[in-house]
Structure 1
Amino acid sequence: MTAPRRPSLLIDVAAAALALVLVGIAGMLGKWQYDAFEADRAAEARDLTDVAPVPLTDVMGNDDPFRASDLGRPVEVSGRWLDGGFWVADREGSGEPGYWAVAPLQTGDAAVLVVRGWAPEPDPDLLAVSGEAEVTGWLQAPEATIVTDDDPDDDVFPEIRVADAVQRVDVDLWSAFIISDEPGPGLEEAELESLPSPSRSTGIRNLLYAAEWWVFGAFAAYIWWRWRRDATAPEMRSPSAG
């Protein structure tokens, strides 16, 4: 013979209510952490290209490392053009391959590299620039890939690397460069290539916390299910019983 053994209605309802409360709290806390994860990534990846320009010195100092959150930020800087300009190869303009014209602009005790514009072919006359200037443009991070320079003695570089460019000037260089929003004489506007994107590690802690809360909620639901199943399972009587 078997006899069902069931909890009282009060205990049954209380256990279900407790399980629902725990699952609900875990779900809300998990959602809160996931929203924080999304907000962190959105904040890092926001497009700054259309905000009002600010002085370069308000964003960073000449000895400061470049911050990924400032990628694409419009900045203003004034100074004096220095010798040591160069071309950067393999840059598109209007869908055509070409070159960037880059020149160092001294501001204070250091110089910042400025992309003055684009040309289909290197031209020494287009690269030459001197005098005072005020530049408004978009802040970019120096490039650092494994591309090698086939001829380090010419004026054409494969990319913008501070370590290479600093050898052409007598002052320190900022750890960023600027793409001017107005091309120099004879040049076309250089296209903005790099916009911010979140790194893989951005907000990962919040994402892990969200997963932990959801696992806790699932565990609470499982515990309730196991209790309910065991509490309502038939009880086997001993064969020797009455």
Structure 2
Amino acid sequence: MYRFLLTPRWWGINLFVVLAIPVCLFAGMWQLGRFEDQVDNHREQQRQAEATGDPRPIADLLPLTTESVGEQAEVTGTYDAAHQLLVPGRRLEDRTGYYVLTPLRPSDGSPALPVVRGWLPGTADADRAPAPPTGEVTVTGALQAPESPSTVDGPTDGLPAGQLGVIGAAALINILPYGITDAWLTVRDAEEPMLAVPAEAPTGTGLDMDAFQNLGYTAEWFVFAAFAVFMWFRLFRREVEQQRDAELGIIPEQPRPSQEGALARSGSPAPPA
């Protein structure tokens, strides 16, 4: 009854399904592996962001890498109070407020480092932002990657003077009259009445949109494998039903290719379709 599986057409169908299923499963497992790698990387970044171990000299952590983001860094220098900036539209503990950012000029003459000294609730107000300490200070905090406009919830354009939308060298290079490091520091202990800003894992190395795209592709490849099996079963069932109907006389039995050739040579007409 199932001899039709040995015909050339079904050999092609069977071969396609046998090859398609492992290819789809392999591609799905590969995408799932990429998602799991990003989950592990995200957890590692969170662990680094929450680290409270001994700080390392910032020179040992620059240039910034995915491994050094969130590490506790230490830098000695002088705050530039004249170029203190406010970063509005930042949330902390379900409240909206703003960061107080002050450039720190290291004592060793290296490029300045943006330091987020803390967070204040409400609308950005320069009069409420505490002035930075004077003289040489040693600052300890978590090293952070530069932000991108697509990841910032607050306003990024059209801000008044003295305010900044995105923290990074690209935004600060036109504001500061000196070189700036393309990274920033959020202090571990903020001065009152400010609150310390928790360090965050960098965008692009954790559970961002790309990671969930990998998860979506995983599901798609598994669906493709299941669809190949479903279509094979559907074609198989239709073929069986057609043969059964032909045997019962419900529909005429279609002549096999060998029968068609014999009828043509004998001159007999083929059975009606």
TM-score under structure 1 length normalisation: 0.65
Distance 2:238 2:93 in 1: 69
User: Who is 2:114 aligned against?
Assistant: 113
Matched with 2:159 is 149
Structure-2 separation of matches of 1:220 and 1:55: 59
Pair 1:226 & 2:235 matched: yes
Q: Which residue of 2 aligns with 1:183?
A: 190
CA contact (8 A) 2:105 2:112 kept: yes
Q: 2:180 aligns with which of 170, 173, 178?
A: 173
Query: What's the CA shift for 1:80?
Result: 0.3
Residue 116 of structure 1 aligns to a residue in which SS?
strand
Shift of 1:156: 4.2
Q: CA deviation at 1:133?
A: 0.8
Runs of 5+ consecutive residues of structure 2 not aligned to the other structure: 150-154, 247-252, 256-262
Structure 1 residue 132, shift from structure 2 partner: 3.0
How far apart are residue 40 of structure 1 and its match? 3.7
1:139 aligns with 2:144: yes
Report the structure, 1 or 2, having the larger strand content.
Answer: 1
- 1:128 is aligned to 132
What amino acid maps onto 2:231 in structure 1?
A: Y
**Matched AA of 2:71:** P
Counting only pairs closer than 5 Å after superposition, residues 80-119 of structure 1 correspond to structure 2 as 80-83=77-80, 84-92=83-91, 98-107=97-106, 108=108, 109-119=110-120
* SS of residue matched to 1:173: coil
Higher relative contact order (CA 8 A, sep 6+): 1
**How big is the alpha-carbon RMSD for the aligned residues of Structure 1 and Structure 2?**
4.5
The structure-2 alpha-carbon separation of the partners of 1:160 and 1:222, relative to structure 1 and needing over 3 Å to count, comes to closer
How many pairs are equivalent? Answer: 226
Q: Identity of aligned pairs, percent?
A: 15
Q: Tell me the equivalent position of 1:50.
A: 50
Residue range with higher mean Cα deviation, 19-28 or 50-59: 19-28
Amino acid at match of 1:50: E
